[in-house]
Amino acid sequence: MSACKRLLYVVKHRSLWTHVRRNVTTWSPVGAAFNAKHQKRPNLFEKNVGLFGVPELSCPAGFQAVTDRALKNTERLVENACSCPPGVETVESFDQLSDGLCKVADLADFVKVAHPDPAFREAAEKACIEIGTVVEKLNTNVELCKSLKILLDSPDIVAKLDADTRRVAELFLFDFEISGIHLDDKLRKEAVALHVKLLDLNNEFLVGSHLPNRIARSAIPEHLHMHFAEEGSFIQIGGLHADSPDDLVREIAYMIYLHPNADLMECLEELLKCRYKLAKLVGYESYGHRALKGTMAKTPEAVMSFLHLLTEKLSDRTAADFTMMRNMKKKLNPRNSELMPWDHPYLSGVLRAERYNIEPSLYTPYLSLGACMEGLNNLFSQLYGVSLMSEHASAGEVWSEDVRKLAVVHETEGLMGYIYCDFFHRQDKPHQDCHFTIRGGRRCTETGQYQLPVVVLMLSLPHPTKRAPTLLTPGMMENLFHEMGHAMHSMLGRTRYQHVTGTRCATDFAEVPSILMEYFATDYRVISQFARHYETGQRLPQSLVARLCESKKVCGAADTQLQIFYAVLDQIYHGQPQNQTTTEILEEMQQKFYGLPYAPNTAWQLRFSHLIGYGAKYYSYLMSRAVASMVWKQCFVQDPLNRDMGERYRRQMLAHGGAKEPMLMVEGNFTMSNTFFPKMFEESF
């Protein structure tokens, strides 16, 4: 971009507050795009291109059209996969089949939770169910599976396949096997019925786990009503209010929000029974054994061994953390000093603030959203030669006017893909930071082109105001870096097959790139390149970053132990059936793996929404953190902006997506010891 054009771009995107304060620093184009207050530019003559540029999705009814087209193509590709000679073409047909269905299902999965229009959400939900049902039937299609088995059972043919093609063929066969392809007709139909039933149960639990609970206004002291939403004669509680300085507010929120819901409890119990029944039906010892095949951990026994070892390593530090919290609670509230689960998040924050003075308002002026995006752009440019370029979205392409579109461009390889940034809070939008794959990358043999990946990053940040851009707390900034790690995994993975593109890899490996980005987000050598005051341009002082990093170690063992407890609970729920309710299991595991007392008549597990997407795999965050720590220490701790190391990391890990065994990638490229995973955690505190 010429200097003249760059100047015009910056002037065009200047935010309102730059007119008031002339000493504001000048942002790069990507920084300006996110710091400028969005200006509506209606163009009555601009054609509606449809969501994500899919023409049919200019209206909700279009979902049926794209679903029908995908299903029609499915019939053709199934026929081709079953009739073509065994070889590469067989695997390519399978991948095209998967790609056609995923392009509808993945897009619909996002729209059903994020689109502000209920009609779009309903149409997307219907598409998800229709595609999901077809996928489950395909996974038990004997003729389709037979074409793959003929290929993989022929040593001469397999010997001619490249490593990626062979692995993708094996992964497709694995999908057949865990769906019960080897069963007789009667049992296979039973497996399909269980899959379909689980789709409904999963959706029911996911929706229910986020619904608020309510209680009569008269049941809560009147002076506390102001802390909660009111609905007629009821108080509505939609969260834990974990950051409230009032002990009673935290306790009330905890007890009401986690109050057992009989219908949701029944849904969860039935969901876990169906998962176990399905796993046994297709030949696995438990659902956990079925879910962990192909992961780094491989078995539930290995996961539990990892979690026990971590607990043992952290026990002394965890006890010390809880002692500090008890002392702090006694100091703040001498009349009620018993440490309870609703105290942990708040008191750990108090201890960090007291010891290191990390009040968010000290940091937010330096962390405008535009500055952080500029920092990410600079980081990716230096590590990978990749730039983030803001693009104008066409009419109908995005679902909300404040969504920004980024093109990811490599200095020599050209356009790599697109990231849609849905960063701002709006009503009915989930309050979760998420990465959604809309379209996976793959090499298209039909056209000779590479199908560019498309993803959405969803955050829930405050909108800019007339006086200031969106300002991030350190936690928000870290979450932004984390989610962008997922996005770059999707962008930089240049796999031949979409079935293994980007984040389509083992769950306990998928979090490695995102967690690694958290290390960059707290390294002053990185932060100093972008964190500057939105009014004065002054750099964020190094002392503030040092305090923030040190504060993370305060109560770090207790925080990790809480995650271990969640991971253990997930494993027990997905293991052999217990002669106990899910609440009784929770109470027992909480005492054994956490230490703070169970609050009677609560059911935290009914808010454990990760049981759906991460069933038997919640431990993945902990294992991925250990691997990310190793990558950081061996590649970036000396110089976080080293291009050679960035290229090594991209080449050896990011580029492969799920096309290589995750543990082979880790063991083949990095130095590991027998006690590697627990040791990485021990060194963190």
Residues annotated as catalytic are 483
Residue pair 282/290 in contact by the 8 Å Cβ criterion: yes
User: Would you call 430 helix, strand, or coil by DSSP?
Assistant: coil
Pinpoint the alpha helices (H) of 594-674: 610-613, 620-631, 643-652, 662-669
Q: How many whole angstroms separate alpha carbon 553 and alpha carbon 518?
A: 14
| 429-to-29, 323, 327, 422, 609 alpha-carbon distances in Å | 28, 39, 39, 10, 16
**In the numeric block, which tokens belong to residue 521?**
């987000």
Residue pair 419/455 in contact by the 8 Å Cβ criterion: yes
Q: How many whole angstroms separate alpha carbon 268 and alpha carbon 569?
A: 14
Residue 519: closest CA among 574, 481, 546, 562:
481
Q: How many whole angstroms separate alpha carbon 453 and alpha carbon 449?
A: 12
Q: Which residues contact 541 (CB under 8 A, 6 or more apart)?
A: none
Pinpoint the alpha helices (H) of 333-357: 344-356
- For 81-124, give the secondary structure using H, E and C: HHHCCCCHHHHHHHHHHHHHHHHHHHHHHHHHHHCCCHHHHHHH
Separation of CA 437 from chain center:
10
| 367-to-32, 361, 470, 526 alpha-carbon distances in Å | 14, 10, 9, 13
DSSP string, 451-462: E--EEEEEEEEP
Cα-atom radius of gyration of the chain, to the nearest Å? 26
| Eight-state DSSP code of residue 423 | E
Q: How many whole angstroms separate alpha carbon 426 and alpha carbon 405?
A: 18
Residue 512: closest CA among 301, 662, 302, 311:
662
Residue 630: closest CA among 475, 519, 481:
519
Pairing of strands 450-451, 386-391: unpaired
From the CB of residue 445, how many other CB atoms can be counted at a distance below 10 Å? Answer: 14
Cite the beta strand spans of 272-401 per DSSP E.
Answer: 386-391
User: Would you call 262 helix, strand, or coil by DSSP?
Assistant: helix
| 677-to-127, 618, 681 alpha-carbon distances in Å | 41, 16, 7
Q: How many whole angstroms separate alpha carbon 445 and alpha carbon 492?
A: 20
Q: How many whole angstroms separate alpha carbon 261 and alpha carbon 244?
A: 25
* ∠ CA 420-423-428, rounded to 5°: 110
Q: Phi and psi at residue 416, in whole multiples of 5°?
A: -105, -25
Residue pair 417/389 in contact by the 8 Å Cβ criterion: no
Amino acid at 243: D
Sign of CA dihedral 283, 286, 287, 292: negative
Q: How many whole angstroms separate alpha carbon 648 and alpha carbon 651?
A: 5
